[in-house]
Amino acid sequence: MPVAKKTEKVSAVHVETKKMNDDCCSSKSCAPSMCGGKCKIGHLVVIWLLLLNTILSIVALCSSSKIEAMKVGGRDNYELVQKIYQSKTFQAQQKQQIEQALQMYQGAGTAPTAGAPTQAQAQPQVLPAQAK
């Protein structure tokens, strides 16, 4: 007696591949909707924006000294302020004040050590209106 074989229907998998046009961008960064030369335009826009950003950053950095000079009352005063910042006395005074602030924040709740200043000494400031 012949044996009947049971066969199951297996659905076939259909894979569709498409050849890319020369106009489409081959990189994965471009969306498929940017084909037809639009991808190249998108890249050019990004390059121009980066270039513009670089130029504006350079302009901002170059004008920062002008802004600082305006804060202190002009180029002459700015040069004097730079000399003050570079003086050894000013640097030593700033270092002392920073160390005192550091001791104050680190030693909160502890007794001050002998010989260490407990408070920063206030420096009198002369305002331009008071100088007359």
pLDDT of 132: 43
Higher pLDDT, 25 or 73: 73
Higher pLDDT, 93 or 5: 93
What pLDDT score does 84 carry?
93
Mean of pLDDT values over 65-84: 88
Distances (CA, A) of 87 to 36, 49, 93, 112, 124: 64, 43, 10, 30, 19
Q: What is the 3-state secondary structure (H, E, C) of 10-58?
A: CCCCCCCCCCCCCCCCCCCCCCHHHCCCHHHHHHHHHHHHHHHHHHHHH
The number of angstroms, rounded, from the C-alpha of 1 to the middle of its chain's C-alpha atoms is 85
For residues 116 and 106, give the distance between their C-alpha atoms in angstroms, rounded to a whole number: 14
For the cut 70, the answer to whether the pLDDT of residue 15 exceeds it is yes
pLDDT reported for residue 131:
46
Q: CA 54, CA 48: separation in Å to the nearest integer?
A: 10
79: phi then psi, degrees, rounded to nearest 5: -65, -40
Does the pTM surpass 0.75? The reply is no
Question: What count of other Cβ atoms lies within 10 Å of the Cβ of residue 93?
Answer: 13
pLDDT of 130 over the 50 cut: no
Q: Each residue of 102-114: pLDDT tens digit?
A: 999 998 655 555 5
Q: Residue 9 carries which side chain, given as an amino acid letter?
A: K
In the block, which residue shows the tokens 């050590």?
113
Q: Is the pLDDT of residue 75 over 60?
A: yes
Over residues 67-92, the mean pLDDT reads 90
